[in-house]
Copies of this chain bind each other. A is one copy, B any other.
Amino acid sequence: MSVEDLLKEKIRQEGRVISDDILKVDSFLNHQIDPVLMLKVGDEFARRFSNSGITKVLTVEASGIAVALMTGLALQVPVVFAKKKQPSTMGGDTYCGQVRSFTKEEVIEIVVAGSYLSAEDRVLIIDDFLASGAAARGLLRIIDQAGATLVGVGTVIEKVFQSGGESLREKGIRVESLVQIGSLSGGMIEFLN
C-alpha cells in the first residue's frame, strides 16, 4: 500500500473531527507518533524532492520534528527546527518569524540560530499540517533573512479549504501534500486525493 493510502486509512480509523476546521490525528502524528509510518513519510518526501540539491530540512517545534527528522534521514541532510520563543541559552545572531497558532489562539515568535542557516542553503520546509499556512510563512521569513533558497514545502496533511497551500502555490512555491482534505464539514472527512 502507498504511504498516501496508509495515511488515509489511519486518518479514517483514528482521526477525529473536532470542528469544521480541526482534525485530530494525535494517535500517530503529533502526540503519539508511529515511527515506522514516519519513516515511510520521510522516504516519500525524499523521493518527491530528490535531485533538488536540498542541504537542510526546516520545521517548527514540536509536531513537525518527527516528520522532518525522517525526511532528513532519507535525504541525508541536517534537520533544523525553529524554536518557539528564544531560550536563554541561544544568544547571538538569530532569524525570527511570527506564527499565529490556529489551535492555541495566540501569536508566537519562532527563532533559528544564525549558525544553522546560510545563503548557501537550499531548504525544504516540512510540517505535519498545512492549514492557513501561518507556520510556513513564519519559516519563509526565516529563510529570507538567512538569504537561503527555498526548494519547496512538504506537508503530511493539507487542509485545502483553509487555503494556506493555495497562497503558497500562487507565490510559485512547490507544495507537496501526502493527503489533501477538501472539507471536514458535518464531521465528515472528504479526501481530495
- Distance between A36 CB and nearest chain B CB, rounded to angstroms: 7
Q: Are A27 and B115 in contact (CB under 8 A)?
A: yes
Q: Are A116 and B31 in contact (CB under 8 A)?
A: yes
Q: Are B69 and A38 in contact (CB under 8 A)?
A: yes
A66 located at the interface, meaning its Cβ lies under 8 Å from any Cβ of chain B in the complex: yes
Considering the complex, which residues of chain A in the window 7-66 have a beta carbon less than 8 Å from any beta carbon of chain B?
Answer: 18, 22, 24, 26-28, 31-36, 38-39, 61-62, 65-66
Contact of A79 with B26 at beta-carbon distance under 8 Å, contacts A61-B61, A88-B104 already known: no
Residue of B nearest to A65 (CB): B65
Residues of B within 8 A of A78 (CB): 28, 32-35
Residues of B within 8 A of A72 (CB): 33, 35
Copies per complex of this chain: 2
Q: Are A73 and B104 in contact (CB under 8 A)?
A: no
Q: Are B35 and A83 in contact (CB under 8 A)?
A: no
Q: For chain A, which range describes its interface: under 10, 10 to 19, 20 to 34, or 35 or more residues?
A: 35 or more
Q: Are A89 and B103 in contact (CB under 8 A)?
A: yes
Q: Are B81 and A36 in contact (CB under 8 A)?
A: no
Contact of A104 with B87 at beta-carbon distance under 8 Å, contacts A32-B78, A36-B76, A39-B73 already known: yes
Interface residues of A (CB under 8 A from B): 18, 22, 24, 26-28, 31-36, 38-39, 61-62, 65-66, 69-70, 72-73, 76-81, 83, 87-90, 103-105, 112-113, 115-116
Q: Can you show 7 pairs from A to B with CB atoms below 8 A apart?
A: A26-B113, A35-B70, A38-B73, A66-B69, A87-B104, A88-B103, A88-B104
